Chains A and B, each alone.
Chain A
């Protein structure tokens, strides 16, 4: 029952009201940690794709060009411009050395990433081709889909289509290859269907078909390979392939057409959700949403100032790029901790560290360290630790208040940056019945500080109730000093202006209220 006299309570600002739903979950914190960097000056970014090799450069397709950007610096490395028409899509090969790009003319070209020279030209589609992809871990083939409703499977070296897959009744605009099997891929078409193809099946017919209900804008395999997500209209739907194409869920939180989706992964360092996958979707409404398909809910939503048409997420979880229809690429880069980088680099290279033999020095009283020996000792398990009593850290104004030096406390806190603390000290002075005395005793320089503070913050709703009255009282009590000083007069003019502004705002708010309230009452009646 040993009691100590009551603690010293420092003055505390009023608590802020908490929003009912905490908008910063650890996950949304993760997603908003991608600091957006704008890459302007492009024209309608139709497609974005990351290279699977380390460093993860990404290809941006815009008008009749294909630019490769470094995901480290977010600057352009190289540009391929040997196209005759607008480029519509691009894909890296699994080793990152080749890029395939398709264009409106229907031609597909394969480039060397480094030399930028066109290696192969695949001509067979008669209409624009919007989808081209190297199957995962397959270096020899290409999949493409065009507006002629055909899906083609190419032999790249021979520049010939191995098979032509028929079945779609409208433009094929998207597709994806399975992450677990090189022979399986899906394509989505404007005929509202997504078809699953298996190259091992002899009759060239689709193995499975799901009906999205809207023209399909994008389709992806989820990392497990058993699920696919389709985007079309304003919905993203999730299908179970292993369960026979069953619809698992539908996310309809976009207001306009969802143009593109990709798989995003939460990095290693963000708590519980680490290494989980999310579906990132972007739409013409300018929103990017992260969809947790395990729990079937949207976990993050972010708005961009343009209609978004493409999205890609780097495999190392460090970069996220979003392309907009007006030519801006919103590239988000996440700061990774040094440790992570080191870890990844150490797995790449063999390093032989020189074996160090720690030399034990005998400490002698002539060393400074001799007197400090044992001070850094950590207590072992069984030791009884006597804690040093925690020192209460007090702010300057708290120390002054403790000594009943009220005016100094007010001046010291006014010199600080935090308006909440100033208001808290003022409230404490009110509770001590000393605020009026303080105001009377302030000299002109300190009075200027106070008036500047009041002028700056008196229209903020949190402080208004106190500061308006304080302002009034200051003007009443120190009228002569204010009249005598030029700078004080100008501050008072500013104060007057901000009060007038506030009045104007109040008036217009009242007007709005007047407009809304009859609407509300009539709505309730109905």
Chain B
């Protein structure tokens, strides 16, 4: 089993002391990447829940730079110390409360006062969630800031602050201050030089009229910067002059409420001055001072990194990163830093010039605009032969992600437009479909109209360039079905033929010019042209599929399935009758079965036998995805469970494997986050994946499940038990980079795979409903003689009984 598709940007990463490694929190593990190659080196596995912070123990002297110790905190309530070079677990501190953020200011402090701080204990400030404590009171303040003695593995009883939700802690680079943001306030504590449990730290509060989103401390001076939701950056200079300064006789001499002395400072706060800068159009997502304190880096939701020169207020920009920025981390090497973007990407920057050196890219997150386009839009597509998945991204690209290597391969820009993250979404790549051999791709992009003006739907066909393995656009079709949206694209399994069906009531078969025998060899113009247009009673065409040999084209006309000869565009037969619109249609491999799934008030999964043109069996299931294995007689169904059953199954979805002939599922697996998920049979090389080749089962077909958050798992559908196999990753770059792979993020919260064989009380069998129209394969106006009809009528009755599932 392979898990992957983890979120790289759930927490800020950390640089190692020599800046050659980047430690990234990836779900339950911490993955160590090399900054020079951008590839994975090793992984720290052990936490049982999401890792929320990672802190590298700083080197106190240059000769200790090879020291590779780090602390990690996780939602499972433990703080662990690792040696990430080997990787090895050194120490575990269990504090029994889920930790959302942790800082260890004493590390930074001890750097300077090494001589006298040696013997001292290390104290960590943690932000935890205490549900029990919150339950007792009326005001649900479950976030707490506490101290923790790491050396003695003890948690202090003292609660520094309670907040509504656990807030992330920020420590100053000098190690003197720790701060949090809490709605419209900043709370700052001074870290005592000799820390202990009993010492209640001094604390000040700074106020603002808008909700704070981030804060940062100046490395040398007493300056704190904070960003708010409207894009303003507030910089307080000399905060805590009255309270923190020891021996503040001079300060006391000043009058506290002298307004002129403290420009911009609100509510008699303890600061000397406050200035406001405004550039970001929306929320500021991070702030960070440069190591020498001369510059301030800020990033916002609009995806622009801004460098402020503090003294002059001059700005420099790194624009068009493409997605909201989340974290900015300075490395010990002043020429390197990293930005984490919301598009699950970490960029390593070369600093003064802000050049992007490396990009560590995970699988792209699901579209933020999924609900806009509705239906099955925005779902990834699979290239089954090479184990690739094509994922749409917000900035109009398609990322090709290798499931077997857990690595992004390349991206294809579908729509040449500048993406403004944070703006209202108006252009969406709604559909992407790959042909069976992965050499052709069809995409649909929708431009939403402004007050009914200027909407546009584009269908694009792409062809794979066999040399450099990238897709290039072959044909662009504006408004292929007038202004109607496209419901599905399906490729012919063998030939250069595709079909697009639309809600506007027609479908079109497209052929590539390669397919047409070119008489004129002089013009090598291999575009796609419309071959035929078909429609059935002007009903919206909701799904389309080719049979495995390509001789039959099935198009769902809302509630019935029409079968066509794709070459001659002749309606062959009409089968099936679903009470609600059909959304998915698939032929079950080489067998003569056709599957369809319908949504709506009466969701349903049904299997039709093509040789008899009749329904075999059906279930009342909300089907999210269907997939079949070409060489196996199996097909897999991803179904959503009703909410009432979620508890019993330990997930909101279930994967069922069927033999087409048999309504009893072969295997069933319950999964989480099934909404928006997809399944596919992919071909994988067993030996390379270090999966055991089971005796008598030399099959290479694996089942891939990708959930709504684009985390995925690949497993052997025949494996009787789902094994936890950590896979040693194939590596093509360096020898040391053999690591272990672990859990996907958030899987740990719920047991993911409960093998529930033969526990199938939930699924009720529904007899196939057959209204009278569907019995006869004739249209109503040309019914044949009654004696002919009679036999067919009787036949349909007998068929029905046979087909009923017991």
On A, residues with C-beta under 8 Å from B are 1-9, 12, 14-15, 18, 20-22, 25, 402, 426-428, 430-433, 435-436, 466, 469-470, 473
B806 interface contact, C-beta 8 A: no
Q: Is the CB of A8 within 8 A of B320?
A: yes
Q: How far is the CA of A469 from the CA of B450 in the complex (A)?
A: 11
Closest B-chain residue to A15, C-beta based? Answer: B476
- Option from B359, B416, B418, B452 in Cβ contact (under 8 Å) with A3: B359
Q: How far is the CA of A337 from the CA of B589 in the complex (A)?
A: 65
B356, B357, B453 pick with most chain A CB within 10 angstroms: B453
- Option from A5, A431, A466 in Cβ contact (under 8 Å) with B427: A431
User: Within 8 Å CB of A4, what residues of B?
Assistant: 355-356
Instruction: List, sorted by A's number, 7 A–B pairs whose CB atoms are closer than 8 Å.
Output: A2-B356, A3-B358, A4-B356, A5-B318, A6-B395, A9-B418, A427-B456
Q: Is the CB of A427 within 8 A of B454?
A: yes
Closest A-chain residue to B473, C-beta based? Answer: A15
Q: How far is the CA of A470 from the CA of B455 in the complex (A)?
A: 12
Q: How far is the CA of A426 from the CA of B449 in the complex (A)?
A: 12
B708 interface contact, C-beta 8 A: no
B322 interface contact, C-beta 8 A: yes
User: Within 8 Å CB of A1, what residues of B?
Assistant: 37-38, 358-359
Against A, the Cβ 8 Å flags (1 = close, 0 = not) of B416-435 are 11111001101100000000
Query: Shortest distance in angstroms between B69's beta carbon and chain A's nearest beta carbon?
Result: 29
Q: How far is the CA of A21 from the CA of B423 in the complex (A)?
A: 43
Closest B-chain residue to A426, C-beta based? Answer: B454
User: Within 8 Å CB of B420, what residues of A?
Assistant: 432
Using a CB-CB cutoff of 8 Å, which residues 332-364 of chain B contact chain A?
347, 355-359
B520 interface contact, C-beta 8 A: yes
Q: Is the CB of A430 within 8 A of B454?
A: yes
Q: How far is the CA of A341 from the CA of B320 in the complex (A)?
A: 53
Q: Is the CB of B523 within 8 A of A436?
A: no
On B, residues with C-beta under 8 Å from A are 37-38, 318-322, 347, 355-359, 395, 413, 416-420, 423-424, 426-427, 447, 449-456, 476, 478, 520, 522-523, 525, 527, 529
Query: Besides the contacts A427-B454, A466-B453, what 11 more A-B pairs have beta carbons closer than 8 Å?
Result: A1-B37, A1-B359, A3-B347, A5-B320, A8-B418, A9-B416, A430-B449, A430-B454, A431-B454, A469-B452, A469-B454
User: Within 8 Å CB of A466, what residues of B?
Assistant: 453-454
User: Within 8 Å CB of B322, what residues of A?
Assistant: 5-6
Q: How far is the CA of A470 from the CA of B523 in the complex (A)?
A: 39
User: Within 8 Å CB of B523, what residues of A?
Assistant: 21-22
In the complex with contacts A14-B478, A18-B527, A433-B452 CB distance below 8 A: no
In the complex with contacts A5-B320, A14-B478, A473-B451, A431-B525 CB distance below 8 A: no
Q: How far is the CA of A402 from the CA of B320 in the complex (A)?
A: 11
Q: How far is the CA of A25 from the CA of B522 in the complex (A)?
A: 9
User: Within 8 Å CB of A18, what residues of B?
Assistant: 525, 527
Q: How far is the CA of A12 from the CA of B418 in the complex (A)?
A: 12
Closest A-chain residue to B395, C-beta based? Answer: A6
User: Within 8 Å CB of B321, what residues of A?
Assistant: 5
Q: Is the CB of A433 within 8 A of B424?
A: yes
Shortest Cβ-Cβ A-B pairs, 4 listed: A430-B454, A9-B416, A469-B453, A5-B320
User: Within 8 Å CB of A25, what residues of B?
Assistant: 522
Query: Shortest distance in angstroms between A140's beta carbon and chain B's nearest beta carbon?
Result: 47
Q: Is the CB of B525 within 8 A of A432?
A: no
Q: Is the CB of B356 within 8 A of A5?
A: yes
- Option from A427, A431, A432, A436 in Cβ contact (under 8 Å) with B451: A436
Q: Is the CB of A432 within 8 A of B426?
A: yes
Q: Is the CB of A2 within 8 A of B522?
A: no
Query: Shortest distance in angstroms between B732's beta carbon and chain A's nearest beta carbon?
Result: 13
Query: Shortest distance in angstroms between B617's beta carbon and chain A's nearest beta carbon?
Result: 43
Q: How far is the CA of A436 from the CA of B356 in the complex (A)?
A: 38
Q: Is the CB of A433 within 8 A of B527?
A: no
Closest A-chain residue to B449, C-beta based? Answer: A430
Q: How far is the CA of A469 from the CA of B523 in the complex (A)?
A: 39
Closest B-chain residue to A423, C-beta based? Answer: B454
Q: How far is the CA of A436 from the CA of B420 in the complex (A)?
A: 19
User: Within 8 Å CB of A5, what residues of B?
Assistant: 318-322, 356
Q: Is the CB of B357 within 8 A of A2?
A: yes
User: Within 8 Å CB of B416, what residues of A?
Assistant: 9, 12
User: Within 8 Å CB of B520, what residues of A?
Assistant: 21
In the complex with contacts A6-B395, A15-B476, A431-B447 CB distance below 8 A: yes
- Option from A12, A15, A20, A435 in Cβ contact (under 8 Å) with B453: A435
User: Within 8 Å CB of B319, what residues of A?
Assistant: 5
Q: Is the CB of A430 within 8 A of B320?
A: no
Closest A-chain residue to B38, C-beta based? Answer: A1
Query: Shortest distance in angstroms between A423's beta carbon and chain B's nearest beta carbon?
Result: 9
Q: Is the CB of A433 within 8 A of B450?
A: yes
Query: Shortest distance in angstroms between B22's beta carbon and chain A's nearest beta carbon?
Result: 14
Q: Is the CB of B522 within 8 A of A431?
A: no
Q: Is the CB of A432 within 8 A of B454?
A: no
User: Within 8 Å CB of B447, what residues of A?
Assistant: 427, 430-431
- Option from A2, A9, A15, A426 in Cβ contact (under 8 Å) with B358: A2
Q: Is the CB of B423 within 8 A of A432?
A: yes
B37, B358, B418 pick with most chain A CB within 10 angstroms: B418
Q: How far is the CA of A326 from the CA of B427 in the complex (A)?
A: 60
Query: Shortest distance in angstroms between A475's beta carbon and chain B's nearest beta carbon?
Result: 13
Query: Shortest distance in angstroms between A73's beta carbon and chain B's nearest beta carbon?
Result: 37
User: Within 8 Å CB of B478, what residues of A?
Assistant: 14
Q: How far is the CA of A426 from the CA of B456 in the complex (A)?
A: 13
User: Within 8 Å CB of A431, what residues of B?
Assistant: 417, 426-427, 447, 454
B319, B426, B450, B527 pick with most chain A CB within 10 angstroms: B450
Query: Shortest distance in angstroms between B235's beta carbon and chain A's nearest beta carbon?
Result: 26
Q: How far is the CA of A473 from the CA of B520 in the complex (A)?
A: 48
Query: Shortest distance in angstroms between B470's beta carbon and chain A's nearest beta carbon?
Result: 14
Query: Shortest distance in angstroms between B355's beta carbon and chain A's nearest beta carbon?
Result: 8
Q: Is the CB of A473 within 8 A of B453?
A: yes
Q: Is the CB of B417 within 8 A of A9?
A: yes
- Option from B359, B395, B454, B476 in Cβ contact (under 8 Å) with A435: B454
Query: Shortest distance in angstroms between A15's beta carbon and chain B's nearest beta carbon?
Result: 6
Closest A-chain residue to B320, C-beta based? Answer: A5
A6, A22, A25, A469 pick with most chain B CB within 10 angstroms: A6
User: Within 8 Å CB of B423, what residues of A?
Assistant: 432
User: Within 8 Å CB of B452, what residues of A?
Assistant: 469
User: Within 8 Å CB of A427, what residues of B?
Assistant: 447, 454, 456
Closest A-chain residue to B451, C-beta based? Answer: A436
In the complex with contacts A5-B322, A22-B523, A430-B453 CB distance below 8 A: yes
Query: Shortest distance in angstroms between B432's beta carbon and chain A's nearest beta carbon?
Result: 19
Q: How far is the CA of A196 from the CA of B450 in the complex (A)?
A: 77
User: Within 8 Å CB of B395, what residues of A?
Assistant: 6
User: Within 8 Å CB of B449, what residues of A?
Assistant: 430
Query: Shortest distance in angstroms between A520's beta carbon and chain B's nearest beta carbon?
Result: 16
Q: How far is the CA of A5 from the CA of B447 in the complex (A)?
A: 24
Q: Is the CB of B450 within 8 A of A436?
A: yes
Q: How far is the CA of A427 from the CA of B523 in the complex (A)?
A: 33
Q: How far is the CA of A362 from the CA of B38 in the complex (A)?
A: 54
Closest B-chain residue to A5, C-beta based? Answer: B320
Closest A-chain residue to B303, C-beta based? Answer: A5
Q: Is the CB of A435 within 8 A of B450?
A: yes
Q: How far is the CA of A20 from the CA of B525 in the complex (A)?
A: 9
Q: How far is the CA of A513 from the CA of B420 in the complex (A)?
A: 46
Query: Shortest distance in angstroms between B74's beta carbon and chain A's nearest beta carbon?
Result: 30
Q: How far is the CA of A432 from the CA of B455 in the complex (A)?
A: 12
- Option from A2, A14, A433 in Cβ contact (under 8 Å) with B426: A433
Q: How far is the CA of A198 from the CA of B718 in the complex (A)?
A: 90
Query: Shortest distance in angstroms between A95's beta carbon and chain B's nearest beta carbon?
Result: 42
Q: How far is the CA of A426 from the CA of B447 in the complex (A)?
A: 13
User: Within 8 Å CB of B525, what residues of A?
Assistant: 18, 22
Query: Shortest distance in angstroms between A430's beta carbon and chain B's nearest beta carbon?
Result: 4
Closest A-chain residue to B447, C-beta based? Answer: A431
Q: Is the CB of A430 within 8 A of B450?
A: yes
Query: Shortest distance in angstroms between A297's beta carbon and chain B's nearest beta carbon?
Result: 9
Closest A-chain residue to B357, C-beta based? Answer: A2
B413, B416, B529 pick with most chain A CB within 10 angstroms: B416
Q: How far is the CA of A4 from the CA of B349 in the complex (A)?
A: 10
